[in-house]
Amino acid sequence: MPHMAKARIVIIGGGFGGLFTALELAGSADVTLIVDSDHFVFTPMLYEYFSGEVEAWHIGPRYDELLENNVRLVMTPAVNVDFGAQTVLLENKEALPYDVLVLAVGGVTNYAGVPGAEEFSLPFRKIEHADALRRLMVNALDRIPPETPPQDVRRELTVALVGAGASGCELSTKMSDLLKDAFKRRALHGQPRVMLLEMGNRVVPGMGDEIRELVEEALRDSDVEVHTLTRVVNVTRDSVTFEHAGNQEQVKTACVVWLGGVRMNPLVERLEVEKNKRGLIAIKPTLQLTQHDNVFALGDIAYYPDATPTLHGTAQLAFQEASLAADNVKAFVEGKKLRTKHFEELGEAISLGTERAAVLTGGKAFGGALARQARFALYTSRLPTWHHRLRVGASWFFGGTAPRPLLPLGLER
């Protein structure tokens, strides 16, 4: 292994795992970060971006600004890895050599093979998805003349969200609050219909009862129609069909948002490495692959054996693992002993509508406007780099975090 300054460290994926590993290694090694877009996404606040409470630059800072010139950026997606030749193959057919490789490509939306889901529903993982959803809402509102009777308005403005995990609850309450506000501003009759469709028997299944009560209360207050034990069986351009207790129903929709889970990244599917039954890469407690000591994997694509089970598939875990990954990459290159670590939950913070949130910290849950402020403060501290945190913190403090109404198309920005 060449000396630390000379070892070529290649990281694939600029999300919570990859970006934070790169930031910790920046300046002390020859690091290349392979990304598939020009900016990071702080996904826990994508809902606030959708509702206009925060701006794109707050939660989607550009990699070149975050990394300055300490990390080489390659903005071409990786398509495969040749572990024998120690190269990463890029979409443009280039092969990038590495001495140490870090895999952090995250997951992709899981449409679970439901007919029409991938073609007609919107995913919600990126800034452009939030933009597309906002545009759809504005277009649907703009099509309704003010004198339309309430039952017709409700039919034209029915939206369905699939999956009542944290994402479904956070987005449905935001959408409902924004739509109800738009109804008032546009003097529309009646109410929008926001449906949350969930296969399981309860909302936020991975969370404790205390926080679930706060979530259920917020869903009720925001008039979100929750359907549990309900399986979506088909999606078309303007409808969703679901099944409950053996009965199928088709509902006309302005849009369907798919939040029904995460599946393996196609790049990981292609890699011939040891994986578990769910397709997650098998790693040692040092984050090294079981068959390749110079390859590390973290975040949503890897099964870390020593973490609280509810942490799997979260930014919290990827963020904590990044620090271990950076330390162990350094130790590996320098021929030192690698560390292992047990990862625990850091708490929960869930946004509920445009006025409140729920936070679980130190085993105690609290909700309301204060929890919303606490969530903003907590997430300011989790954003990448001191410089970015300070800029965003100042912007929220002085500029405020009020939602941006769904104005008619010409007035939207």
Ligand X SMILES: Cc1cc2nc3c(=O)[nH]c(=O)nc-3n(C[C@H](O)[C@H](O)[C@H](O)COP(=O)(O)OP(=O)(O)OC[C@H]3O[C@@H](n4cnc5c(N)ncnc54)[C@H](O)[C@@H]3O)c2cc1C
Task: Write out the residues near ligand X by the rule CB under 6 A.
Answer: 12-18, 34-36, 43-44, 46, 77-78, 104-106, 124-125, 167, 265, 267, 299-300, 313-316, 318
Instruction: Give the gyration radius of the chain's Cα atoms.
Output: 22
Between CA 161 and CA 122 the distance in angstroms is 9
Nearest to 382 by CA among 63, 137, 44, 4: 44
Q: Shortest distance, CB of residue 322 to ligand X, whole angstroms?
A: 8
Q: Shortest distance, CB of residue 409 to ligand X, whole angstroms?
A: 25
Measured from the CB atom, is 13 or 403 closer to ligand X? 13
CB of 143 closer than 8 Å to CB of 186: no
Measured from the CB atom, is 43 or 401 closer to ligand X? 43
Q: Shortest distance, CB of residue 220 to ligand X, whole angstroms?
A: 22
Contacts of 411 (CB under 8 A, 6+ apart): none
What are 330's two structure tokens? 């350094």
For 140: left if phi > 0, alpha if psi spans -120 to 50, otherwise beta; the answer is alpha
Alpha helices in 6-74 (DSSP H): 16-25, 46-50, 56-59, 63-67
Q: Shortest distance, CB of residue 169 to ligand X, whole angstroms?
A: 11
Measured from the CB atom, is 115 or 206 closer to ligand X? 206
Helix (H) or strand (E) holding 242: strand 239-244
Measured from the CB atom, is 78 or 374 closer to ligand X? 78
Nearest to 96 by CA among 17, 39, 40, 12: 12
Measured from the CB atom, is 82 or 152 closer to ligand X? 82
Q: Shortest distance, CB of residue 171 to ligand X, whole angstroms?
A: 8
Between CA 382 and CA 185 the distance in angstroms is 35
Measured from the CB atom, is 232 or 268 closer to ligand X? 268
CB of 202 closer than 8 Å to CB of 211: no
* Dihedral sign for Cα atoms in the order 18, 24, 26, 29: negative
Nearest to 210 by CA among 359, 55, 330, 314: 359
Q: Shortest distance, CB of residue 77 to ligand X, whole angstroms?
A: 4
Q: Shortest distance, CB of residue 388 to ligand X, whole angstroms?
A: 16
Measured from the CB atom, is 14 or 61 closer to ligand X? 14
CB of 176 closer than 8 Å to CB of 218: no
Measured from the CB atom, is 82 or 249 closer to ligand X? 82
Between CA 322 and CA 17 the distance in angstroms is 5
